[in-house]
Homo-oligomer: A and B are copies of this chain.
Amino acid sequence: MRRTALTIAFLVGLNAPALAQKAEIEAVNAKWMQFFNAGDFAGIASLYTEDAVALPPGSAMIKGRAAIEAMWKGMAEQVTDPKVITLDVKSLGPSAAREIGTFSLKTKGPDPKEVTGKYVVVWEKVANDWRLAADIWNEGK
């Protein structure tokens, strides 16, 4: 079974480390969404590296867990129901990867709108855990 999976991975041009990284990263993204929906912004911040940088559209870049926690807390006052879809994970070595994906979310208020966009995340492995190290997104997909 494992061999079959590896053969399929080879045939589609992936490799086992990249496949494993993608699954691990998708699991962290799932936690990210759970934390957001639960209003647990300290939880979200814990998924970033200590020195992570977030680059939200329309404002300055934001450095470090505490600032990132405050950013998402502020964002949650304006938007809801974020969904991220991982399109591609490229392994950059045993402890780094870059992810490309798309997202959607809904604005709050009397006239809610869906906003869609795309993102790049640079992931770093800290001990055994993948953590977001750079997180940038923009609209349009």
Q: Does A122 belong to the interface (CB within 8 Å)?
A: yes
Does A119 contact B96, Cβ atoms closer than 8 Å?
no
- Number of this chain's copies in the complex: 2
- State the interface size on chain A (CB cutoff 8 A): 28
Does A92 contact B96, Cβ atoms closer than 8 Å?
yes
Does B60 contact A57, Cβ atoms closer than 8 Å?
no
| Complex Cα–Cα for A92 and B124 (A) | 9
- 17 A-B interface contacts by CB (under 8 A): A55-B100, A55-B118, A55-B120, A56-B138, A58-B138, A60-B140, A60-B141, A61-B100, A61-B118, A92-B92, A93-B96, A98-B98, A98-B122, A98-B134, A120-B122, A122-B122, A137-B138
